[in-house]
Amino acid sequence: MAPTAHAPGVPSLPPRAPGARCPQRLQIRSTRPILSTRPIPSIRSIGSRRGEPRPRAVAGPGLETATAKKAGGGARGDDWNQWVREGQGETPLVRRQAAKQDSQQAKIADSLPPWDASLTADVAVVGCGPAGLALAGELGKRGMRVVLVGQDSAFVNNYGVWRDEFRELGLEHVLECQWDDSVCFFGEGQEVRVGRGYGRVCRRRLRQHLLEVCRSEGIGGGVAFHEGLVDAVDSERGSDTSTLRCKDGSEVRARLVTLASGAAAGRFLEYETDTPQPAGQTAYGIEAEVEGYEKGFDPKAMLFMDYRRHHTGLWEDTAHTIQAGKHPNAGDGLWGTSNEVPSFLYAMPLSDGTVFLEETCLVARPALPFATLKRRLERRLAAQGIRVKRVLDEEWSYIPTGGPLPAQGQAITAFGAAANLIHPATGYSITRSFQEAPAMADAIVDALKSCPLIGQRADRVWDTLWSQEKRKQAAFHVFGMELLVNLDLASTNNFFKTFFRLPEYFWQGFLASKLSSVELLAFAAGMFLLAPLSTKYQLMEHFFVDPSSRYLVRSYFPDKDEGDSTHSS
């Protein structure tokens, strides 16, 4: 297989010797060669040739970034939390992803009326992503006067969702591709068929649907649009009106401000203290025309997780012939991987030989760099005999996971990823945001009707979005995330083989954040009973040693003074 050229400025890596180990935790570069007599073909980065315009950098869908100038991760406390949320050292590529454009997506300015600056909105929703549009639409249906503030940017990420969950939301019509089954591999010969349909969201259909909801005005209300980057928020608990100040000098007044602008919103929010620090999920993916995918994978099924170690130690076009226990690098290729950060292949076979292929690190601290993921994807595809003919799109996905929840007692509310509605152990967020939007809108309407002051309104909304019960659930999810951060590849495979042996109610409920705090304890008991002895030991050690267990216990059994405390005014 003839190699393709690397993108300008991206060095080509030398071959790796047989049996050599991949970069380990906290070690993100390696100059040792890999097993091959020829260079591994590289994925040419699209839009990176000399003379082509670079995409404009953006901070987020509505907010000016607070940590763009941080370098080297030298911040601590809230600054450290915000630095991690905005991409750690991967911020340039995170911004490049956010700056993508799609001329075929409907423009917000063409769909919604402009905001009249002389008015005071009931609610200002900052952020024009899926979560912000969903909440604005629900508020508009309830008769609220809503102003949507942010940039008129396209939806740019690939969204994969469980089909049954989108069907329950009435959103199955926005899926552009569907698969009746999802497949996982947790070691050579360890195929797990999940038996659950999966779908890929059409970004254009989703955006059009959300804008149509925003246009369907309720009695006396509706959604208008103000384009701008919010640079400051003046909001005091004892006042009745907040003011948004945009970078262009414009101002927007509202009775309540809700931030739905992703990670950049953190600069305006306060967070809990004495909690585990956030980690990160990273993924590097391509949508490409390929040859050879069907040799190793079912083209009619979605590949959810392939944790087989095919990214090193294999000759080209040999991975699909390996038998269980016969990997050249000992057993299932696990020799020397105790300190390696695991990653897996996630793939959506589309049509006419086009496949979306993504190397994903589920969770790590620090986050696994995109360069490492790209290198692993190149080597994995070569080992599978998959030849990339043409790259149609390139994706850099960064999702902050875990970390402190928004603190109670602040005068600004938030929603979506800005409110940490990201599952710490999976990275899922879009479905949960859509599920939570109606209840969030109801809470806002109730607060505006019954509370005269901003602080009282915000308290009512936060108590709905992050009630004590939901904080317990989040603490359990963080506990699970911290376990995954510490597992090596062999232990990760054992964990997920056990996970998918649970009754569907439990594993599906866990992924969807639908299990109550009591049901999560039953989930943990089931995992412990079904797990192999080595995993049982790791679960016990994690509970008795890891600091996240103290956070879990404190959340489940809060001090009486803490549980009965009133919000400051």
Residue-wise pLDDT for 263-301, tens only, equals 888 889 999 988 999 999 999 999 999 999 999 999 999
**Which stretches of the chain score pLDDT less than 70?**
1-78, 218-220, 329-331, 333, 336, 560-569
Label each residue of 44-84 as H, E or C: CCCCCCCCCCCCCCCCCCCECCCCCCCCCCCCCHHHHHHHH
Burial class from Cβ neighbours inside 10 Å (0-12, 13-18, 19+) for residue 11 reads exposed
In 3-state terms the chain splits into helix, strand, coil percentages (rounded to 5) of 35, 20, 45
Contact 198, 178 (CB under 8 A): yes
Distance CA 349, CA 182 (A): 11
pLDDT of 561:
60
pLDDT of 203:
97
Q: What are residue 254's phi and psi, to 5 degrees?
A: -155, 155
Distance CA 185, CA 189 (A): 8
Q: Which run of H or of E encompasses 349? A: strand 344-349
Looking at 487-516, list the stretches that DSSP marks H as alpha helix, in order from N- to C-terminal side: 489-499, 504-511
pLDDT of 43:
65
Segments making up each domain of the chain, as ranges: 1-53+279-401, 108-156+202-273+407-466, 469-564
pLDDT of 62:
59
pTM as predicted = 0.86
pLDDT of 330:
66
Q: What residues pair up with 521 in beta bridges, in sequence order?
A: none
Residue-wise pLDDT for 474-521, tens only, equals 999 999 999 999 999 999 999 999 999 999 999 999 999 999 999 999
Distance CA 183, CA 386 (A): 18
Contact 86, 264 (CB under 8 A): yes
Residue-wise pLDDT for 112-131, tens only, equals 999 999 999 999 999 999 99
pLDDT of 72:
35
> What does pLDDT average to over the chain?
86
pLDDT of 220:
61
Please, which residues have CB within 8 angstroms of residue 531's CB and are 6 or more apart in sequence?
A: 494, 495, 498, 539
pLDDT of 274:
86
Q: What residues pair up with 191 in beta bridges, in sequence order?
A: 185
Closest Cα to residue 282, out of 377, 355, 174, 384? 377
Amino acid (1-letter code) at residue 248: D
Q: Which CATH superfamily is domain 108-156+202-273+407-466 in?
A: FAD/NAD(P)-binding domain (3.50.50.60)
- 3 state SS of 368: coil
pLDDT of 281:
97
pLDDT of 6:
37
pLDDT of 317:
85
pLDDT of 501:
98
The tokens for 491 are 């232990």
Amino acid (1-letter code) at residue 78: D
Amino acid (1-letter code) at residue 91: T
Q: What percent of the chain has pLDDT over 90?
A: 73
pLDDT of 42:
62
